[in-house]
A = this chain, B = another copy of it.
Amino acid sequence: MSNPSAAMLVIGDEILSGRTRDSNMHHLACELAKRGIDLREVRMIADEPEAIQSAVKALAAAYDHVFTSGGIGPTHDDITADNVAAAFGTTAPQRADALALLAAHYARQGMEFTEARKRMARVPEGATLIENPVSIAPGFTYKNVHVLAGVPTVFQAMVASVLADVAEGAPLLSQSLRVMRGEGDIADPLADLAAAHPELSIGSYPFQQGGVFGSNIVIRGSDGAAVDGAMRELAALFPEACE
């Protein structure tokens, strides 16, 4: 049985313009890998209705899970909820349960519950709310799309909340060997090793250190014994490797 698959959709002009460096992708990649959910594709797009709808349609059809980040705040450029809904032919009205959560929060804080803040209650009918312990305004899961905030602390809390409820696969195990030889020297034996272990993913990542070329060789797979065995073969190929 293969692992569940996932894609991520990062929504925001500020990422594409270089103003903000996205960190949510790397966090999600690590959390999914730990749980055996295969992150297969990431897309980063602007805050534009057509771009959001067409990406949501394509990714939701191709993968078991889609995680979006960004665009669910109160301002005019926060249009993710409406366009995720539109991708499925529905709408995201201000929903009573989300309004109640937010109203209670702002009452506790002694802050006005403005029309703008009410925009954060836009949730499609049939969606499940995702808890936001940081700043209350919820995300939501609609069909196989998990709509999360872009602010990293909130994104991380929401990822934890979603992942507590989804089916996991066999976690991806990995071992790596650092070899002080350039890729051109190790490529042939490495290709043979990869061909002998089609069930494993064997990758090589070059680096340069003090003018010397080296490679990190990573063996990944779901079967721990298979990874161990291939790593022993690899170590025998390059006995001078440092640990």
Contact = CB atoms under 8 A, between A and B. Distances in A.
A30 B18 contact: yes
Contact of A40 (B16, B205, B206): B16
A159 to B, nearest CB: 12
A45 B40 contact: yes
A218 interface: yes
Contact of A206 (B39, B73, B186, B203): B73
A172 interface: yes
A169 to B, nearest CB: 13
B17 A187 contact: no
A202 to B, nearest CB: 7
Copies in the complex: 2
Nearest to A44: B42
Contacts of A17: 29, 33, 39, 172, 174, 220
Nearest to A182: B111
A2 B14 CA distance: 19
A191 B76 contact: yes
A16 B43 contact: no
B74 A184 contact: yes
A18 B26 contact: yes
Contacts of A42: 10, 16, 42-45
A104 interface: no
Interface in A176-200: 182-188, 190-191, 194-195
A116 interface: yes
